Amino acid sequence: MLGSGKAAGAMAHAVEALWPLDAPLSGMVVTRYGHTPARPEGVPERLRIVEASHPVPDAAGLAAAEEILSLTQGLTQDDLVLCLISGGGSALLTLPADGLSLAEKQAINQALLKSGANIGEMNCVRKHLSRIKGGRLAAACAPAQVVTLAISDVPGDDPSVIASGPTVPDVTTCADALQILKRYQIDISNDVLTAIQNSQWESPKPNDAAFLRSSVHLIATPQQSLLAAASFAESKGLRAYVLSDELEGESREVGKVHAALARASAKGLGPFVKPCVILSGGETTVTIRASKADSEKREGRGGRAGEFCMGLAQALQGQENVWALAADTDGIDGIEDNAGALVTPDTLARGAHAGLSLDDHLACNDAYGYFQALNDLVFTGPTHTNVNDFRAILVL
């Protein structure tokens, strides 16, 4: 068994609990630091779980990827490889393409994270800078049978995008990756440019024979989390409206759109009938901006959920009877220790009373600092799963 992602530890424990004791089972998975759950009582340890850095890869992730790839050597058509894949696997399972250093891959990854590129664009580039992603892990396992169990954290649930699709054929090309790098003005060395231009790092495609005995099964998706939340809200006597599990775009702008819907509904103007909960998911983006108000040009702290909440609060303008929660379902918003934040009808008033300027915090992407001062950060700790952004707006 092989695997990678923020949910990999919990998935490995589930396999260990369900796998017959008299049947052989071996392998390893890599998850984020601090994301290995406690082993269930009575479940014997049969799989190795290692931890590495996310969202910027590190040497531990490189070592884990090398070991995982080495475990595919010598497999035959009589072997079964169970692959446990979840969001975060792109950074955790890092194995730079031949001729690419870990340091340069880290720099490119960090630049992409700050650029505002969406997850599909980032993972297209990641696939073409890797020796294990973009279907290459499945190709290494051939001729063994490969069964992938995946938890989706991407809009549209495309398996080839989840963790950069290590076991899924890739329809994107080196030319696509180069176009994305140019679009977001990501610096790369001449050696990397030449390799991509010459399709030297091209990924295996759908017609590759390596995928003839490979299958993928989605075992958890963002839509399931939204429907579960809707069912809970309805059990409490609230109407529940699910906008979409595929929303993308700048987090603050998505927040403003949600605010417009919430304000109209609070005023009885539609489109939703109060009391209600408005739910949405997907994966928004944050483009890092230099602070105009800070002479040091510092970057703030925070992630997609916090940035959404700042945009929402700014556009709600203290609207009565509207409360909101935005959080990442893995329990980590960006690279911080919070899952997300809360917005209340008096968020702006309390901020002003504390001497905070929401505009200034937005200018330097400092959602953490703003909501920390209001005691409105949400902390869950690692949840050991990952079905992406979760947003709930309560209108009474």
Q: What is the pLDDT of residues 15-51, one digit of tens each?
A: 999 999 999 999 999 999 999 999 999 999 999 999 9
E-strand stretches of the chain = 2-4, 28-32, 48-52, 80-86, 145-151, 214-220, 239-242, 276-282, 322-328, 340-343, 377-378, 389-395
At position 318, the amino acid (one-letter code) is G
The 10 Å Cβ neighbour count of residue 112 is 20
CA distance 156 to 158: 6
Does residue 292 surpass a pLDDT of 50?
A: no
Residue 294 banded pLDDT, cuts 50, 70, 90: very low
Q: How far apart are the first and last CA of the chain?
A: 49
Q: What is the pLDDT of residues 238-285, one digit of tens each?
A: 999 999 999 999 999 999 999 999 999 999 998 899 999 999 999 999
Does residue 297 surpass a pLDDT of 90?
A: no
- List domains and CATH numbers for the chain: 2-220 (3.40.50.10180), 222-395 (3.40.1480.10)
Residue 298 banded pLDDT, cuts 50, 70, 90: low
Percent of the chain clearing pLDDT 70 (strictly above): 97
Does residue 358 surpass a pLDDT of 50?
A: yes
CA distance 170 to 147: 17
Average pLDDT, the chain: 95
CA distance 98 to 118: 26
CA distance 108 to 231: 41
Give the three-state DSSP class for 281.
strand
Q: Going by DSSP bridges, is the β-strand pair 340-343/145-151 parallel, antiparallel, or unpaired? A: unpaired
Instruction: Name which of 174, 57, 184, 85 is nearest 124 in CA terms.
Output: 174
- What is the rounded average pLDDT of the residues 105-131? 93
How is the beta sheet containing 377-378 ordered, strand by strand? 239-242, 276-282, 389-395, 322-328, 340-343, 377-378
Asked whether the beta carbons of 238 and 355 are under 8 A apart, the reply is no
Does residue 335 surpass a pLDDT of 50?
A: yes
- What is the rounded average pLDDT of the residues 78-97? 96
pTM of the model: 0.92
pLDDT value, residue 291:
46
CA dihedral 103, 301, 52, 40 (to 10 degrees): -170
Percent of the chain clearing pLDDT 90 (strictly above): 93
